[in-house]
Copies of this chain bind each other. A is one copy, B any other.
Amino acid sequence: MADAGVISFAGSPIDRADHIRTNEQALGALMNWKARVLGLDGLLPQMGDDGGLVWGTLADVDDKAELVFLGMMNDKAHFAAVPDDGATGPAYAMPRAWQAIQQLSPEDLAIYGGARSLIDWHARHQFCAKCGGKTTPAKGGWQRNCSFDGGCGAQHFPRTDPVTIMLVENDGKLLLGRQPRFPARAFSALAGFVEPGETIEEAVAREVHEEAGLRVHNVEYIATQPWPFPSQLMIGCYSQTDETEITLDVDELEEARWFTRDEVEFAMNNIGNDEGEFNAPPPAAIAHSLLKWWLDKTA
């Protein structure tokens, strides 16, 4: 990995303890008074007075709630309960989620992010996509089985969607764009889902061409981030182009522009100040890490 510094939502201190998930007896034995259950309000974290996550016990959980096994930490099993409803909107429409992102320590943020992705998947996958039957959790919540009487018996696994997010450079300038839903003056790296049948490098080239009409080469992997709104693997890349003329896909982007190194540096040093040419992405976003990496690289 190129050195992109701290990546938000990475670095969870929980041991996923895969061997326990698959061992029903071992898992059952861990569901005792020592077990800790993540304090949640639906998908949102309860926040402690110290600004950290809150952990309760199994006694705090609704009898009917599905439980997922997050893993082991400090010799204790850690769980989270699946809420009745999954996420209904993107992260930018969740002010309380953003508040938590800013307050939680890196370790707590990583624990919360992983747990949120997993329980949100359960909440939105109560039925079998193959036959429409009801599904039930298995393997400590890392699987769901079609268990409908007369159903197909299909097994389903938590979903993680790979997304490419890329810097595009031409002659010392960076291409950044803004989606209509972005806060005022905010620009960030272009991004798009990796589709079936393409590599990371092909997805980067396709997205930049679709959204900005530019042909890139020398695509380079920099770093990844697990992004829990709802469950994306953000694959941060760097690329170069010999072209400068932008053809905007107005369905995706409101604007895309070239920024000089000075403009990027000023924006990164003035986050939240509403000064300079644009507002840079916040530290929680991997786009922030990519810009920091580029500033270091070109220093």
Contact = CB atoms under 8 A, between A and B. Distances in A.
Interface in A90-119: 110, 113-115, 117-118
A293 to B, nearest CB: 14
Contact of A159 (B113, B159, B197): B159
Given A1-B201, A1-B220, A226 B196 contact: yes
Contacts of A249: 19
Interface residues of A, number: 63
A130 B110 CA distance: 26
B127 A128 contact: yes
Nearest to A286: B199
Contacts of A200: 224, 233, 235
19 contacts: A1-B201, A1-B220, A9-B197, A10-B199, A18-B206, A22-B251, A114-B196, A114-B197, A117-B196, A117-B197, A118-B196, A126-B129, A142-B195, A158-B196, A159-B196, A160-B194, A160-B196, A201-B224, A221-B221
Interface of A: 1, 7, 9-12, 16, 18-19, 22, 86, 110, 113-115, 117-118, 121, 124-134, 142, 154, 156-162, 193-202, 206, 210, 219-221, 223-226, 228, 231, 233, 235, 249, 251
